[in-house]
Amino acid sequence: MALDTDQQNYRVKMTSQNEAQNEAQNEDPIEPQETAQADTFYYQIQFRPNGQMSSASAAIADLKASELVMAQTDHGPEPAVVKGAGFKWPGPQSKRNTPPTKIQRRANAEEIEKSARLIEREQEAFEICQSQIAALKLDMKLIRVERYFNGSKIIFYFTAENRVDFRELVKGLVQEFRTRVEMRQIGVRHETKLIGGLGCCGRELCCSSYINKFAPVSIKMAKEQDVPLNPAKISGICNRLLCCLTYEYDSYRQIKKKMPRAGKTITLNNETLKVLNCNVLQETITVAPPGDRDKSQVLNRSEWEQAKPVQQQQPQKQKKNKK
C-alpha cells in the first residue's frame, strides 16, 4: 500500500512537470561538477520514484533540479528526474565505478506527458498480472513491474520459494500487452532493495539507496569486528546478515594483524603480561600480569608496538624406543 501511495505521488508530480520546469526557470541553476573537458558536466538523476540515484554526464550546463531529461540506457532513452549536482567520474582507470549514464537532452512536452502515463501503465500491468497469478493459482509473489519507455518490453519481478512454471502466465500477458514479457525471479535481498525501507540505524536501506551488487556476507565478518552474535542485531529487514558488515571488515582485519591477539602473552619492560582484549577502533589493548586481572592496564599503540611476544614452548613428544 505504501508503494501505491508513492507511485500516486510521483504520478501527480510528473503530471505537473511542465509547471515545475517553468518555476525552475526562476531558480538558480545547479552548479555541476565540470571535468577537464569544458563541455562535460555531472548530475545526479533518478529513473523511478524512490529509486536509486545515478551519476550522469551531460553537455548541458544549466540543468535544474526537478527537470525531466532523457538519459541513454542499454535499451534506449529513458526519462529521468535531475536531483542535483553530481561528482566527477574517476575515469576509466578506476575499478570502483562504472561510467556514468549520458544525458541526451531535456524532455519535451510529449515525453513529459508520456512519462507520467508510464507510471500508471506499470500499475495497471501490476494489477492485471496479479489477477492472472491468482487465476492460475501460482505460488509466487509479484513485487514490481517495470515497463520500458519505448514499450518494447515489460519486466515482472517476483519472488518464490521454488521454481514456478509460468509459461501459461507469460502467454496471457503477451496477449494482453502485445509486447515482450520477461518474468524475473529475485531473492529476498533484491525484494528489499526494490521495496525500500529504513534500517536499524534509522537511515534509508543501503541496498535501496546506492548498492548495485550484493557482496557476500559471512558470520566471520561479525566475529572479526567483535559484534555481538545476536541474530536480531546483525540481521536486516530481509532476515539476512547486514550488508554493512562488509564495510569495515578489511580495515578491522588489517589492524588486527598488527595487534597482539587476546589470550597471547607479551613482555614489556621486562614484565610478562597477558592480553585480555583488544579495542580495534582506539588501537589499544588491555593487559594484566598472568593470574592477576585486578592489575590490568590499557596500552596504546605506541606502547604495545614496543612489546615482544612470548613464544610458548610446545611439549616435545617422547620417541618410543624401537626394540
Chain segment 177-228, per-residue pLDDT in tens: 999 999 999 888 888 888 888 888 888 888 888 887 888 898 999 988 888 8
218 and 234 together in one domain = yes
Of 230, 249, 268, the residue that ends a domain is: 249
Q: Look at the alpha carbons of 75, 76, 80, 85 in this order and tell me if their dihedral is positive or negative.
A: positive
**Domains contained in the chain, number:** 4
239 and 273 together in one domain = no
Q: Which residues pair with 265 in a beta bridge?
A: 274
222 and 268 together in one domain = no
172 and 218 together in one domain = no
**Nine cell digits for residue 131:** 489477477
Averages of pLDDT over each 10 residues, the chain, 323 residues: 43 44 49 56 84 82 86 88 76 59 88 88 92 92 91 91 90 91 89 85 85 86 87 87 89 87 84 86 86 83 82 60 53
Note the pLDDT of residue 224: 87
What are the two backbone dihedrals, phi and then psi, of residue 231, each rounded to the nearest 5 degrees?
Answer: -55, -35
Note the pLDDT of residue 317: 58
Domain extent at residue 90: 40-107
Note the pLDDT of residue 51: 77
Reported pTM: 0.67
Asked if residue 165 belongs to a domain, the reply is: yes
Asked if residue 25 belongs to a domain, the reply is: no
Asked if residue 195 belongs to a domain, the reply is: yes
Note the pLDDT of residue 6: 46
Asked if residue 264 belongs to a domain, the reply is: yes
122 and 88 together in one domain = no
Q: Give the integer Cα–Cα distance in Å for 207 and 194.
A: 9
CB-based contacts of 201, cutoff 8 Å, min separation 6: 244
Given phi > 0 = left and psi -120 to 50 = alpha, else beta, which region is 107? beta
Asked if residue 318 belongs to a domain, the reply is: no
Note the pLDDT of residue 173: 93
Q: How far does the chain reach from its first CA to its final CA, in angstroms?
A: 85
Domain with 172 in it: what CATH number? 3.30.300.20
Contact 186, 146 (CB under 8 A): no
What are the two backbone dihedrals, phi and then psi, of residue 115, each rounded to the nearest 5 degrees?
Answer: -65, -40
178 and 238 together in one domain = no
Asked if residue 268 belongs to a domain, the reply is: yes
Which CB contacts under 8 angstroms, 24+ apart, belong to 2-8? Answer: 3/144, 3/195, 4/123, 6/49, 6/50, 7/49, 7/119, 7/122, 7/123
Of 107, 134, 150, the residue that ends a domain is: 107
Q: Give the integer Cα–Cα distance in Å for 245 and 232.
A: 14
Asked if residue 28 belongs to a domain, the reply is: no
Q: Give the integer Cα–Cα distance in Å for 272 and 263.
A: 13
The SS3 call for residue 4 is helix
Asked if residue 5 belongs to a domain, the reply is: no
Which H/E stretch holds residue 169? helix 167-177
Q: Give the integer Cα–Cα distance in Å for 207 and 196.
A: 8
Of 107, 137, 155, the residue that ends a domain is: 107
194 and 172 together in one domain = no
N residues, the chain: 323
